[in-house]
Amino acid sequence: MTGRAVVDVCVVGGGIVGLALGRELALRGRSVLVLESRRVGERSAANVAAGMLAPASEVDLSDSRLTEFALAAHAMYPEWCAALARESGLDAGFDPTGTLIVALHHDHLALLERLNEFQRERGLTAERLSAASARELEPCLAPGVIGALRTDDTQVDPRRAMRALVAAIAAAGGVLEDGAEVSALVRDGDTYALTVRHRESEATVHASQVVLAGGAWSARVALPAGLPSLPMRPVKGQVVRVRGERLIGHVVRTPDVYLVPRADGELVIGATMEEMGFDARSTAGMVEHLLREAQRVLPGIAELELTECGVGFRPALRDHLPAIGSLDGAGLFVATGHFRNGVELAPITAQLLADVMCEGRTDPLIAPFTPARFATVASA
């Protein structure tokens, strides 16, 4: 990047949301520059994430408007991954096998029943399974399993998806610069001027439209006075990765832990939810907790190789809903706050925000997530 660059659209943040949006805009013929402060994946929450696409399993944790958005996201995922593979030549690791939510004792069973009620209320289907039927589907489950729910919730490998997105952006003519940190943005006539620290030098990028998609760091870019400030905080999540013989085909969850199997023998075990700011340490207690809970449902993991302990930061806004839309009523947009669901919601966020940016059309699905909801509080 030279001292001064002019582009049509600049996306700040090369996490899964920024990359999905960069691809979508480039496919629509826009000249796109995606700026990522580190190497892609180095500090993105998606690089740690399990990649569950789980509207049914998490319906009890979600606002109904978020469930509706997540269901639409879920429906478009297979075709989105197929298109991504055609454009990039890379497989994003989409796996439609499904999810088993398993009970190990009667408290779990009560939680499963409550979840199943929520699912029925919101028109979602899940199949109740006896312990024997659950073990028929997944023979390595612990003998202590006393019942299960089977849902159509699927999964994708976020690391592979991000690699495919990087290639797809380039194939569509977009540009991704890594090592480029945006520190500030001002209005400059018809454009926005962004201050960018790139390697050892500083540059200015001028863009007609800008999208802040910096995940948990989204509120750190200095903006012109008077704009809503996003009440963003990081919610720390720890996961453990093990590898070896493939013990399960479904994603397996209990109310205490989830296990997400990949085709290549990796198993992702997660995740903690911690209010610890940007504390990036893996801690012995939490790793022990995850492994213990995972072994209770799948004893065979004791024999697998421990390959990684990871930490990521979920971007959480005060109401735990995403912010998608214009921040200033003009060309400055945000796509952030996807909290526990950013992998699932990245494709639909990209598609519907691109509709707003390119056609001025706001789909009712994203209307509840307008960043303007934080303006009232700020001006009050």
Ligand X SMILES: Cc1cc2nc3c(=O)[nH]c(=O)nc-3n(C[C@H](O)[C@H](O)[C@H](O)COP(=O)(O)OP(=O)(O)OC[C@H]3O[C@@H](n4cnc5c(N)ncnc54)[C@H](O)[C@@H]3O)c2cc1C
Q: Residues in the site for ligand X, rule: CB under 6 A?
A: 12-18, 35-38, 43-46, 48-52, 181-182, 213-217, 220-221, 237, 239, 270-271, 312, 314-315, 336, 338-344
Kindly state the DSSP code that residue 365 receives in the 8-state scheme.
Answer: T
C-beta neighbour count of 189 within 10 angstroms: 7
**Least Cβ distance, residue 154 to ligand X (angstroms):** 11
Listing DSSP states for 192-250 in one string gives EEEEEEETTEEEEEEEEEEEE--GGGGGGSB--TTSPPP-EEEEEEEEEEEESS---SS
**Least Cβ distance, residue 112 to ligand X (angstroms):** 19
Looking at beta carbons only, is 81 or 182 nearer to ligand X?
182
List, in order, residues 6 or more apart from 99 with CB less than 8 Å away.
52, 54, 56, 57, 150, 151, 152, 153, 154, 155, 250, 251, 252, 253
List, in order, residues 6 or more apart from 230 with CB less than 8 Å away.
218, 219, 317, 323, 334, 336, 337, 371, 374
Looking at beta carbons only, is 266 or 344 nearer to ligand X?
344
Please choose, from the candidates 14, 18, 341, the residue with its C-alpha nearest in 3D space to the C-alpha of residue 156.
341
**Least Cβ distance, residue 133 to ligand X (angstroms):** 25
Looking at beta carbons only, is 17 or 149 nearer to ligand X?
17
Alpha carbon of residue 57 to chain centroid: 16
Report d(CA 152, CA 77) in Å as an integer. 13
**Least Cβ distance, residue 278 to ligand X (angstroms):** 11
**Least Cβ distance, residue 287 to ligand X (angstroms):** 13
Looking at beta carbons only, is 45 or 147 nearer to ligand X?
45
Looking at beta carbons only, is 51 or 371 nearer to ligand X?
51
Beta bridge partners of 52: 155
Looking at beta carbons only, is 228 or 312 nearer to ligand X?
312
**Least Cβ distance, residue 311 to ligand X (angstroms):** 8
CB-based closest residue to ligand X: 15
